[in-house]
Amino acid sequence: MLKFVLKRLFFETIPSLFVIATLTFFLIRLAPGGPFSAEKNVAPEIIAQLKAHYGLDKPLAAQYGNYLLNALRGDLGPSFRYVNSSVTGLIRQGFAVSLELGLWSLLIALLCGITLGVLAALNHNRAADWVAMIIATTGICIPTFVLGPLLVLVFALNLGLVNVSGWNNAGDRILPSLTLGLAYCAYIARLTRGGMLDILSQDFIRTAHAKGVHPFMVIVRHALKGGLLSTISFLGPAIAGLITGSFIVETIFNIPGLGRLFVTAAFNRDYTLIMGTVLFYAFLIIVFNTAVDILQALLNPKMRVTIG
């Protein structure tokens, strides 16, 4: 296992991050318009001062080298847009919020998704299956920018149960978590259904039933373990996607998360903040994908050989 993790780290994680850093670094500099262009003209001397201040007057290769060296030391530089903030500080603040939102959404997604998926599989080709799958398909089809305002209209504007936006009290967590969670719930439901259908037709399930095990225990103890394998491999990128924040949901509900920072950084050509958020996002995806591989090995003996 240790060998697997080390191999992953040195042959996949580090080279991937390096490639991503390099591509992002040069691509953002190719985009027209720089961080200091503005509607009102800025005098060339001032632009020159600003470039010197942020080291943008040096040759590109030197800028790139400096950036990588500093990044290795954990210093992602100052933000160009948010003048008195460091990129690390901004990511820390934004991530704390996105992480919380992501975890609540994940909870909702898992809870609804697995329940719907199992129900559908158990009632294969019967009404309950169709209902569950219609719900799931609708969930996939309705984008968050439609679902979010709809939920706001019903629960905040009409019923007045919660605030329309903000991130201050517990109630403010409900609608955004639902909006973000329901989209993922739909995928999980479909994956769980597929996995469960596959497992439920296996011999060992029949054996369990024949031995007189309570049907509920057959599902929970025997079937779910194998039936959730495909769901688990989906969870890696899903968790990374959920906790790094969604620009749309954060914008609709005015949540101070990482997603908004990331997208506005691109609009502002805030080079350091773009680099920082991209690397952070990439790092999380890689970590979660590795974690999923390990988890799958634990759940599925067949996989252990390849990992071993």
Partner 1 sequence: MAPMLKSTFAAMIGVALALALSGCQQKKEAENPGRILRYGNQIEPQDLDPHIITGIPEYHIVSGLLEGLVNPDPVDLHPLPGMAEAWDISADRCTYTFHLRPAALWSSGDTVTAADFVFSIRRILSPRLGAEYAYMLYCVKNGRRFNKGELTDFSQVGVRAPDARTLVITLTQPTPYFLALLSHHSWFPVHPKTILKFGPLDARGTAWTRPENFVGNGPFTLAKWELNKIIEIRKNPRYWDAAAVRLQAVRFYPIENMQTEERAFRTGQLDLTTNVPLEKIDWYKQHDPQLLKIDPYLGTYYYLFNVNKPPLNDKRVRRALALAVDRESLVKYVLKGGQAPAICFTPPNTAGYTSAATIGFDTLEARRLLAEAGYNAQHPLPAISLLYNTLQTHHEVAQALQQMWRTYLGVSVTLVNQEWKVYLASTQERSYDIARMGWIGDYNDPNTFLDMWITGGGNNRTGWSNRAYDSLIAAAAAASSQQERYRCFSRAETILLDEMPVLPIYFYTNGYLMQPQVKGWYPNILNLHPYKFMWIEKK
* Site size toward partner 1, by CB under 8 A: 66
**DSSP character at residue 220:** I
Shortest CB 209 distance to partner 1, Å: 16
Q: Which is nearer to partner 1, 81 or 193 (CB)?
A: 81
Window contacting partner 1 (CB under 8 A); options: 6-14, 33-41, 55-63, 290-298: 33-41
Residue 260 within binding range of partner 1, rule CB under 8 A: yes
The single residue among 9, 46, 134, 154 that binds partner 1, judged by CB under 8 A, is: 46
How many whole angstroms separate alpha carbon 153 and alpha carbon 134?
23
**Binding flags for partner 1, 174-213, as an x/- string (CB under 8 A):** x---------------------------------------
**Binding flags for partner 1, 234-253, as an x/- string (CB under 8 A):** -----------------xxx
Residue 143 within binding range of partner 1, rule CB under 8 A: no
What are the tokens at 224? 């779910």
Shortest CB 157 distance to partner 1, Å: 7
| Exposed/middle/buried for residue 213 (C-beta within 10 Å: 0-12, 13-18, 19+) | middle
Determine phi and psi for 78, rounding to 5 degrees. Answer: -85, 150
Residue 151 within binding range of partner 1, rule CB under 8 A: no
How many whole angstroms separate alpha carbon 246 and alpha carbon 249?
5
Residue 27 within binding range of partner 1, rule CB under 8 A: no
Residue 110 within binding range of partner 1, rule CB under 8 A: yes
CB 300 within 8 A of CB 290: no
Q: Which is nearer to partner 1, 86 or 233 (CB)?
A: 86
Tally Cβ neighbours within 10 Å of residue 46. Answer: 11
The single residue among 173, 232, 275, 292 that binds partner 1, judged by CB under 8 A, is: 173
3-state secondary structure of 161: coil
CA dihedral 245, 246, 252, 257 (to 10 degrees): 20
Q: How far is CA 192 from CA 13, 136, 195, 222, 254, in A?
A: 29, 11, 5, 14, 33
Residue 34 within binding range of partner 1, rule CB under 8 A: yes
| Exposed/middle/buried for residue 91 (C-beta within 10 Å: 0-12, 13-18, 19+) | buried
What are the tokens at 45? 């001397």
Shortest CB 171 distance to partner 1, Å: 3
Residue 40 within binding range of partner 1, rule CB under 8 A: yes
How many whole angstroms separate alpha carbon 108 and alpha carbon 179?
10
Residues that bind partner 1 (CB under 8 A): 31-34, 37-43, 45-46, 49-50, 53, 78, 81-85, 90, 93-94, 104, 107-108, 110-111, 149, 152, 156-157, 160-174, 217, 220-221, 224-225, 251-254, 256-257, 260-261, 264, 267-269
